């Protein structure tokens, strides 16, 4: 659909447009501009409050928490809107209606409406156009208003206090997922500074919930709650809810239990405050989970986090973990899941790492965490599915030139070699390889073990001497991690129809 393609292209051009410096953002200028932009597209403060928002921040797990909340509310018959970032395959995943990415037709219609409204009014304002994330945030509020959603679940982009989403003056409730160190250029480099930013989404008289946090971070969150006159509650562990023991969560991994508990409290609080038949809570917040809660938690899907995709003799374990804390959780999850698979297959499997990190994150620190998995090979690839023409323009990252991406994969490989060397298991070039795309890496490593995958790869790889199909060797377990964008590039090949 050319109109959709044009919309994505126009939106992508905003990626390189720097509307504000980090300093201006921290002075609150971004929020002033955001209010101005919303005014220009006729979305008022009242319109936003009428969306009955649940606002969620945190360093890790905020997306999963939002996905659980959205799923629970939908099972209660609520028409939901859900705004999140980043996307894996297509930008429309960021704006969901009733759990599904908005259709290409609706995305196209609303994008051009907003684009036009901003264009008409640009002469009257100093800031003519919004930057990429601001544009998407404006679009989300505009769409949720016009689609008349009953609840809007809004995930903070970065931080909280000065995030573009923090124009919500009266949310129904707020949540803070796990705190950690990330995006230090905007948020500061200590847990206290980061907690201060996250606590910036609290609003006077609005209930707020968080999970157990590091001591320093919790102290600051409590201080922020006092400033806003907010009752901040700490959620119980998921296993302590009556009737939780026989419930399998839709998102796998132990770390998801706290996210599920946070989501349960947020959803219940929302149902209470909008008088939509909540479960009454006891002082310790524990209550038996009724059927809509159980179904919502069980059927929740959140791609690219703890996701397993199996082919005949290759299993892919995908998790976009990109902080120390999340990678530690993801590694534990991979070790458990892969050994369960070995147990069922009654044979040992060959473990392979596919890795990339972006921005200024410390690859070596991440690779130290991954080392104990015992990978026989490691693949270092940029977040590029293929160099063949693609139907997904949404994947284009104009901010990071290809040369930088290529430079990065060599640096990552060298960091891995250092880690292996220091652990007394030096690795050679056959065991630590760099590739220019995911398709190239996959065609090399899977060696035609699966016919379906093999056919897909043949049209996408740039390798001339394509290996003949051979079915041999152990079952492969490929762990893809370090970047959500890398996971997106893998999904483009493994599950391109994920949004259909």
Cβ(449)–Cβ(310) under 8 Å? no
The two beta strands, 95-97 and 100-101, are antiparallel
Report the SS3 class of residue 226: helix
Angle, CA of 322, 326 and 330, to the nearest 5°: 100
Annotated binding site for ATP: 305, 319
**350-355: strand order across its sheet:** 307-310, 314-319, 476-481, 350-355, 377-380, 432-434
Non-local (6+) Cβ contacts of 84 within 8 A are 63, 66, 67, 93, 94, 96, 155
Residue 477, strand partner residues: 315, 351
The 10 Å CB-count burial string (b at 16+, else e) for 81-95 is: bbbbbbbbbbbbbbb
Annotated binding site for Mg(2+): 85, 155, 183
| Distance from chain centroid for Cα 268 | 23
DSSP H or E run through 65: helix 62-75
Angle, CA of 82, 397 and 321, to the nearest 5°: 60
> What's the CA gap between 54 and 68, in Å, rounded?
12
Tally the residues of the chain. Answer: 500
The encoded tokens of residue 495 equal 């599950």
The encoded tokens of residue 343 equal 């147990």
Strand ranges, E, within 135-203? 151-155, 173-176
- Which residue reads 């890398």 in tokens? 486
- Give helix then strand counts, H and E, for the chain: 18, 14
Annotated binding site: 85, 155, 183, 305, 319
Phi and psi at residue 372, in whole multiples of 5°? -60, -10
């Amino acid at each position: 659909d050319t109109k959709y393609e044009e919309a994505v292209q126009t939106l992508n051009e905003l990626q390189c447009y720097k509307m504000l410096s980090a300093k201006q953002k921290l002075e609150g200028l971004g929020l002033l501009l955001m209010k101005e932009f919303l005014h220009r597209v006729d979305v008022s403060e009242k319109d936003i409050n009428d969306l009955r928002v649940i606002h969620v921040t945190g360093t890790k797990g905020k997306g999963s928490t939002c996905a659980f909340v959205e799923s629970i509310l939908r099972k209660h018959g609520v028409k939901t809107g859900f705004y999140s970032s980043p996307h894996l395959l297509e930008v429309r995943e960021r704006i969901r209606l009733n759990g599904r990415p908005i259709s290409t037709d609706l995305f196209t219609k609303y994008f051009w409406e907003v684009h036009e409204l901003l264009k008409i009014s640009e002469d009257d304002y100093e800031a003519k156009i919004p930057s990429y994330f601001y544009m998407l945030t404006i679009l989300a509020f505009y769409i949720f208003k016009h689609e008349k959603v009953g609840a809007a679940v809004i995930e903070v982009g970065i931080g909280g206090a000065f995030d573009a989403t923090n124009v919500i003056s009266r949310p129904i409730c707020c949540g803070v997922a796990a705190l950690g160190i990330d995006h230090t250029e905007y948020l500061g480099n200590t847990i206290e500074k980061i907690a201060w930013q996250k606590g910036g989404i609290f609003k006077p008289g609005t209930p707020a919930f968080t999970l157990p946090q590091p001591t320093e971070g919790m102290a600051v969150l409590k201080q922020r709650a006092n400033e806003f006159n907010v009752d901040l509650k700490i959620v119980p562990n998921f296993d302590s809810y009556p009737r939780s023991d026989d419930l399998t969560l839709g998102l796998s991994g132990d770390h998801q239990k706290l996210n599920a508990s946070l989501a349960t409290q947020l959803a219940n609080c929302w149902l209470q405050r909008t008088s939509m038949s909540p479960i009454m809570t006891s002082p310790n917040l524990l209550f038996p989970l009724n059927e809509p809660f159980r179904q919502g938690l069980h059927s929740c899907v959140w791609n690219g986090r703890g996701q397993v995709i199996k082919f005949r003799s290759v299993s892919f374990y995908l998790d976009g973990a990109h902080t120390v804390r999340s990678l530690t959780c993801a590694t534990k999850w991979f070790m458990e899941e892969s050994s369960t698979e070995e147990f069922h297959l009654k044979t040992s499997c060959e473990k392979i790492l596919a890795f990339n990190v972006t921005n200024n994150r410390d690859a070596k620190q991440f690779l130290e965490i991954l080392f104990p998995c015992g990978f026989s090979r490691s693949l270092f690839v940029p977040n590029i599915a293929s160099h063949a023409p693609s139907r997904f323009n949404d994947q284009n990252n104009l901010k990071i030139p290809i040369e930088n991406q290529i430079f990065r994969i060599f640096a990552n490989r060298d960091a891995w070699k250092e880690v292996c060397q220091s652990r007394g298991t030096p690795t050679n070039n056959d065991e630590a390889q760099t590739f220019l795309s995911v398709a190239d890496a996959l065609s090399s490593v899977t060696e035609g073990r699966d016919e379906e995958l093999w056919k897909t790869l043949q049209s996408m790889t740039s390798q001339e001497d394509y290996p003949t199909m051979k079915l041999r060797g152990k079952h492969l377990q490929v762990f893809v991690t370090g970047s959500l964008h890398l996971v997106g590039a893998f999904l483009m090949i493994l599950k391109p129809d994920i949004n259909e």
